[in-house]
Structure 1
Amino acid sequence: MAEGLLGEKRPLAGFLDADGIRDSTDALRDAFAAEPGVRVLHTFAAKAASLIPVLRLLAASGMGCEVASPGELRLAIEAGFLPARIVLDSPAKTRDELRLALALGVAVNADSFGELRRIEELHSPGSASLLGLRVNPQVGGGSIGAMSTATATSKFGVALRDPGAREQVVRAFAERPWLTRLHAHVGSQGCSLELIASGIAETYRLAEEINERLGTRRVTGIDIGGGLPVNFADDEVRPAFAEYVAALRAAAPGIFDGHYDLVTEFGRSLLAKNGFIAARVEYTKQAGGRRIALTHAGAQIATRTVFMPDAWPLRVGAFDGNGSPRSGPPMVQDIAGPCCFAGDIVAHARELPELREGDFVTLYDTGAYYFSTPWAYNSLPRPAVYGFAGETGGMRFAPVRDPQSLDSVAEESGLAHADALAQLRGRT
């Protein structure tokens, strides 16, 4: 607030801890480095923070990048990731997407047998792309169904327990010498380490089966996805990456024997605790005996929390208009957002010091998915995002994304074609 990044004219912003992001990537690398002889490409899931300065910081920290759309691929290239350190995943890749990825030398994980056939049409021996097949080990779901990708009917990958599917996978590798990688991702938030590890173990056993039946090491790499859940209850980072590695070792010790190159695709677990949202309290009111603080942080930047509050609860901090922590006896309050529907509440019945007009609230653990991928409901402009790093005597800040202007909102809403529909003439 002293820097002018928050105030009455700047009522909403996201903040990212650059040093914390580096510490998180170091923790990930250190956890796998404890397994000697294992070659690992750690990629960051771009969807978790699709902001070029964030991706460039991660590239400079030695990370690769996992992308799931043409837009994310463009961002990864602009951020400076080498194509050989980019992995393309998605269940609906077009021929143009595949052509570009193969031309660049980006790794591609096919999501289905149909996509394998499409890659076969487009693939040339000169492509540097490593090619894999995503499988669904069908080990079940976690506590959040929408985040569980290894259920019996998941839309992702080849369902291994369906009749004949496993045999088809073996045959696919037998018929395509260029197919050298298996990929699996069990899920993320709401999935236990044991569930995630069981899915990776099943994928490892499939790799061993393919190689044994083909009499050669056709599968040379396993992309084990990401999915480490985040603790949103307090400041503690748990589970840790070291715990994840320990769970993998218990479930599939052979995966660390050096026979397979590994790829990881973590996102939320690297960024969530390294960011927060700050939003101004514009008004307060009473309704039915409940205190309501109306802020500028709602469903447009906390979409999952608003629509699934029990699955995605957020901790809230209360600060006065100068940025100092609010004090005083706790009062039950709803923290509401600016969106024009009744359910736009980011925190229900929270006990906080009494909030007043001009105060600020913080939503913690929102460094991934929240302000980086806003929802354009009510044509609310995207908030500014800033990075920060500590230094002796204070903090340094840097812009990550400028606040969206109303001119930009109008342009994205078809301003250049304003008269197009009015000028259409119906048939007579």
Structure 2
Amino acid sequence: MTVSATQITAQRTTAIKELAPLLNETTPVLGAIDFNVLDQLIEQLFEAYPEQWVAHTVTLEQMALPGVLEHIRVRGLGVQAASASQLVISRRCGFLPHEIVHNAAANSRPMLRQLVEADISFSVDSFTELDRVDQIVDGALALPVIGLRITPQTSSDDGILAASHLGIGLRDHREDIIQSFKDRPWLAQLSLHFDAPPASLQQAAEQVGAIYQLAEDIEHAVGAQRVRHIHLSAGLPGNHTDDHGTPSLANHRFVHQAVVPELFDGKYELTTDFTHALTAKAGMILARVEYTKDLDGRMIAVIQADSPHAQDQPRIEAYDADGEFKDETRLYYYDVAGPSGLIGQRFQLPELEEGDVLAILDIGAHAFGAHSSFTAPVYGIRADGLLTETSVLRNAQPLEWVAEAAGVYQPHKMLYS
């Protein structure tokens, strides 16, 4: 099944007509997840990777809405956590221990012990963590799947490598990694961490190939198969220029199988993370235009939302207050600004006025993650396209709650005196 750009566009048009009337002066921003798009992409994922020895996960770093996590759980996907709070969310959403993968940048001794006792798969990020695990697993009768997170270090750009901090460097520590597996029969997994998001599927597949070869080298050194699980980051570059899901999940499978065909013979159980590919185009933010103004010869549309894209300029469409697409032939260059600054510049948009709606697109893998600062309500668009009470995925966070979360107020303690 291929999810067409026409389908995504049509479903978004229907969704915005339902959601736009909810925007007003007191609720100038809302978020939305289109479950129609999400379900179609999940179906496409299982068509590209249908094997029983491939398990798919969604990471809470990019998607932490319980309603979405519960939805993907019943469709056969697992979840990837990276902190104690994310583990709590995972369990509350109904994920069983074998459906959870834990990959954190740093694990304390109590966290490692909790993972072992809960039988949750995890990969350690350094040899220091590995020493800690040694102490915890000593004498244990049963263990979860435990592995090492590896950074292949295949990039020729020293600047990219200098910005990477996760994982154990394969180029730096190949022999140490192999020796670790020789010394520890309970190590059974390699988890891939890319030096940087791959610019192409070919680049991604080459790094996957490096991890596969490492698993084979470990087997040769040990004299028996030691690595049984390989955890793959997606390595699927996102397309934020239009509604086409390119490259597709089928493209990902084709390129990886062409570059590393041995990876797909069933010898290794694979775990994937395609969160961005599954959720980006399913999510959007709708923001009411507060007003427009001009400054230094530029036209600026001011809204009450910020872009969740840290660096890239997002894609924006314009609708009127009733949710009708503003399909006008005459376009203008607008800068769009939110509370924290410019969201982007020189968007080609029709003439905007107060009360119009701007849709910030392709943000499903950014806006609603575990560390998101998005405080507006979030709605889920169901198959029938209608909004009901169960369509609310998250209520707006009250101002009192936000103020309380800022810290402890101590008006009678002059700490600065």
TM-score by length of 1: 0.87
2:220 maps to what in 1? 212
d(CA) in 2 for partners of 1:338 and 1:133?
Answer: 41
Asked if residue 346 in structure 1 is aligned to residue 346 in structure 2, the reply is no
1:399 maps to what in 2? 392
Counterpart of 2:382 in 1: which secondary structure?
strand
Give the stretch that moved more between structures: 54-63 or 152-161. Answer: 152-161
d(CA) in 1 for partners of 2:293 and 2:163?
Answer: 46
The unaligned stretches of length 5 or more in structure 1 are: none
1:324-367 alpha-carbon deviations (Å, 9 max, x no partner): 1224411111111122xxxx111201121011111110011111
Counterpart of 2:69 in 1: which secondary structure?
helix
Kept in 1: contact 2:63–2:369 (CA 8 A): yes
Offset at 1:190?
A: 5.2
Counterpart of 1:358 in 2: which secondary structure?
coil
d(CA) in 1 for partners of 2:164 and 2:151?
Answer: 8
| Equivalent residue in structure 1 for 2:165, among 142, 146, 155 | 155
d(CA) in 1 for partners of 2:314 and 2:309?
Answer: 12
Quickly say closer, same or farther: Cα 1:67–1:224, change in 2 above 3 A: same
| Equivalent residue in structure 1 for 2:353, among 353, 356, 360 | 356
Q: Give the AA of the match of 2:321.
A: G
Counterpart of 2:22 in 1: which secondary structure?
coil
Counterpart of 1:395 in 2: which secondary structure?
coil
Offset at 1:183?
A: 1.2
Q: Give the AA of the match of 1:126.
A: L
After TM superposition, the structure 1 = structure 2 runs for residues 227-238 of structure 1, keeping only pairs within 5 Å, are 227-238=235-246
Kept in 2: contact 1:188–1:226 (CA 8 A): no
Kept in 1: contact 2:298–2:335 (CA 8 A): yes
Asked if residue 322 in structure 1 is aligned to residue 336 in structure 2, the reply is no
Q: Give the AA of the match of 2:24.
A: G
Q: Give the AA of the match of 1:418.
A: Y
1:418 maps to what in 2? 409
TM-score by length of 2: 0.89
2:379 maps to what in 1? 386
1:27 maps to what in 2? 44
Q: What is the RMSD of the two structures over their aligned residues, measured on CA atoms?
A: 2.2
After TM superposition, the structure 1 = structure 2 runs for residues 10-409 of structure 1, keeping only pairs within 5 Å, are 10-33=27-50, 39-123=53-137, 124-140=139-155, 151=161, 154-162=164-172, 165-186=173-194, 189=197, 191-298=199-306, 301-304=307-310, 308=311, 312-328=312-328, 329-339=330-340, 344-372=341-369, 376=373, 382-391=375-384, 394-397=385-388, 398-409=391-402
d(CA) in 1 for partners of 2:364 and 2:189?
Answer: 31
Quickly say closer, same or farther: Cα 1:6–1:371, change in 2 above 3 A: farther
d(CA) in 1 for partners of 2:301 and 2:322?
Answer: 18
The unaligned stretches of length 5 or more in structure 2 are: 1-16
Asked if residue 5 in structure 1 is aligned to residue 22 in structure 2, the reply is yes
d(CA) in 1 for partners of 2:319 and 2:370?
Answer: 25
Tell me how many residue pairs correspond in the alignment: 395
Counterpart of 1:285 in 2: which secondary structure?
strand
Quickly say closer, same or farther: Cα 1:364–1:141, change in 2 above 3 A: farther
Q: Give the AA of the match of 1:41.
A: A
Counterpart of 1:47 in 2: which secondary structure?
coil
Kept in 1: contact 2:86–2:370 (CA 8 A): no
d(CA) in 2 for partners of 1:425 and 1:293?
Answer: 41
d(CA) in 1 for partners of 2:107 and 2:134?
Answer: 14
Amino-acid identity (%): 34
Offset at 1:175?
A: 0.7
Kept in 2: contact 1:106–1:129 (CA 8 A): yes
1:204-241 alpha-carbon deviations (Å, 9 max, x no partner): 01101111121111111111222312110101001111
Kept in 2: contact 1:188–1:227 (CA 8 A): no
Offset at 1:279?
A: 0.2
Kept in 1: contact 2:181–2:218 (CA 8 A): yes
Offset at 1:407?
A: 1.1
2:3 maps to what in 1? none
Kept in 2: contact 1:66–1:86 (CA 8 A): yes
Offset at 1:153?
A: 6.3
d(CA) in 2 for partners of 1:17 and 1:425?
Answer: 49
Quickly say closer, same or farther: Cα 1:188–1:324, change in 2 above 3 A: farther
Quickly say closer, same or farther: Cα 1:77–1:350, change in 2 above 3 A: same
Q: Give the AA of the match of 2:147.
A: G
Quickly say closer, same or farther: Cα 1:324–1:259, change in 2 above 3 A: same
Q: Give the AA of the match of 1:345.
A: L
Kept in 2: contact 1:140–1:152 (CA 8 A): no
Offset at 1:262?
A: 0.8
Kept in 1: contact 2:309–2:366 (CA 8 A): no
Kept in 1: contact 2:151–2:166 (CA 8 A): yes
Counterpart of 1:356 in 2: which secondary structure?
coil
